[in-house]
Amino acid sequence: MDNVILGLPMYYYVAMVAKVLVAFVFVLLSVAYATYAERKIIGHMQVRVGPDRTGPMGLLQPIADGLKLFFKEEIVPGESNKLAFLLAPFIALVPAFLTFAAVPFGNTIEVMGYKIPLQIAAYYDTGMGKVVDLNVGVLYILALASLGVYGIVLAGWSSNSKYSLLGGLRASAQMISYELAAGFAIIPVFMLAGSLSLHEIVKAQEGFRWFIWSNPMTFVGTFLFYVCALAEINRTPFDLPEAETELVSGFCTEYSSMKYAMFFMAEYANMVTVCAITATMFLGGWDGPFSSTIPILSPIYFVAKVYFLMFLTMWIRATVPRYRYDQLMSLGWKVLLPTALCLIVLTAIAGSLGFNTFFG
């Protein structure tokens, strides 16, 4: 059998490089200016101004913060495990960027007669007449999402600090608790779409048949998955691994300079990715008015949905207090996990009775 990848024309490789660059720049800029947006949004919600002195309206603040962290002194604790201490930030950051490879951020566009799907791990097969992507894209995302916590746990253990170790232990327990519920919450989506391919999941929602309002089980699953995702990436009100009030800064207490910045970047990159996955599986991805007839509109709809979900994440941080650790575990194991299992059973029953159709 011929190697399909090697048999593709040159435009495929050019398109691939272009898509990688676009996605990388999008995530990087979103990470940088999500910090600015969050400080401004929370500032206005708390009746204050937020950053306003570095550049017009404070727009250069993320660049100033990056330069400050880059030139700060880097301190490595004398009693730490040096190799693990240095590797931990990279293990936390890299999976956050790699996860975006399977996310379709737009419909298929045509450039100079060639059809190019706006998804990194995908190409248009002219013989089959359809987009071929990673047919287990969701499993790829779940696998990479699980790797990020290794960086946090490694950072907590290698620092040789009681605060860091407690933060790392909290992160591992939290990830195990909420990853199960998050994984179960999206199973009804697979059952309705009939595929683990993210491209096929988006296609199943075309024409505003978004899963958030098309089926009662996936309606509940949308909110369940979003809550579990917040816990997975340690966002408020589930930021127990950092918990400044009792753990100083948790797993990254002993980090400084760019290594501290890498943990910061990993958190916001994970936030972008989680919002992109939520938009893809429950909000129709790139689907919107005229997205099928005018494909160039599709990435605009996708970005708008991602930024809307990011705004909700920041809003939650401004308004919801942090859970106690016993409340965190109780919510995950006693509420969210049983609810997710019930959604799977109800979706299966509805399908067997012939009601596995769109209700909206």
Torsion of Cα atoms, 250 then 253 then 259 then 262, to 10°: 30
CB atoms within 10 A of CB 21: 10
Is residue 357 situated within a structural domain? Answer: no
- Could you give the CA distance from residue 141 to residue 278 in angstroms, rounded to a whole number? 12
Other beta carbons within 10 angstroms of residue 155's beta carbon come to: 32
User: Residues for the chain: how many in total?
Assistant: 360
Q: What pLDDT does residue 276 have?
A: 92
In a domain, 342, yes or no: yes
Q: Round to the nearest angstrom and report the end-to-end CA distance of the chain.
A: 45
Please report whether residue 128 resides in a domain.
yes
Kindly provide the b/e burial profile for residues 290-303, where b requires at least 16 CB atoms within 10 angstroms of the residue's own CB. Answer: ebeeebebbbebbb
CB atoms within 10 A of CB 207: 10
| Cis before 237 (ω within 30) | yes
Output the pLDDT for position 354.
67
For the chain, how many structural domains are there in total? 1
What is the rounded CA–CA span in Å between residue 350 and residue 356?
5
> What pLDDT does 3 receive?
41
**What is the Cβ-side half-sphere exposure of residue 102, based on CA atoms within 13 angstroms?**
24
Residue 346: its H or E element: helix 337-352
- Show Cβ contacts of residue 37 under 8 Å, excluding neighbours closer than 6 positions: 310, 311, 314
Query: Is 136 inside any structural domain?
Result: yes
Taking the mean position of all CA atoms in its chain, how far away is CA 234? 12
Q: What is the C-alpha to C-alpha distance for residues 92 and 267, in angstroms, rounded to an integer?
A: 9
Range of the domain at 158: 10-352
The pLDDT score that the predictor gives to residue 8 is 56
Tokens of 351: 């399908």
Per-residue pLDDT of the chain (360 residues; tens, 9 = 90+): 334 444 556 777 777 888 888 888 888 888 888 889 999 999 989 888 888 888 888 888 888 888 888 888 888 887 778 888 888 888 888 888 888 888 888 888 877 777 888 888 877 777 777 777 888 888 888 888 888 888 888 888 888 888 888 888 888 888 888 888 998 999 999 888 888 888 889 988 888 889 998 888 889 999 999 999 988 888 888 887 777 677 777 788 888 888 888 888 888 888 998 999 999 999 988 888 888 888 888 899 999 999 999 999 999 988 888 888 888 889 989 999 999 999 999 888 887 776 655 444
Whether 241 is in a domain gets the answer yes
pTM for the model stands at 0.88
Q: Is 243 left (phi over 0), alpha (psi -120 to 50) or beta?
A: left
Q: Are 189 and 211 in contact (CB under 8 A)?
A: yes
**Maximum distance among all alpha carbons in the chain?**
65
The two structure tokens encoding residue 270: 């994970």
**DSSP single-letter state for residue 180:** H
* Measured distance CA(5)–CA(16) in Å, rounded: 12
Q: Is residue 2 part of a domain?
A: no
Token digits for 231? 């816990």
- Residue 358: inside a domain: no
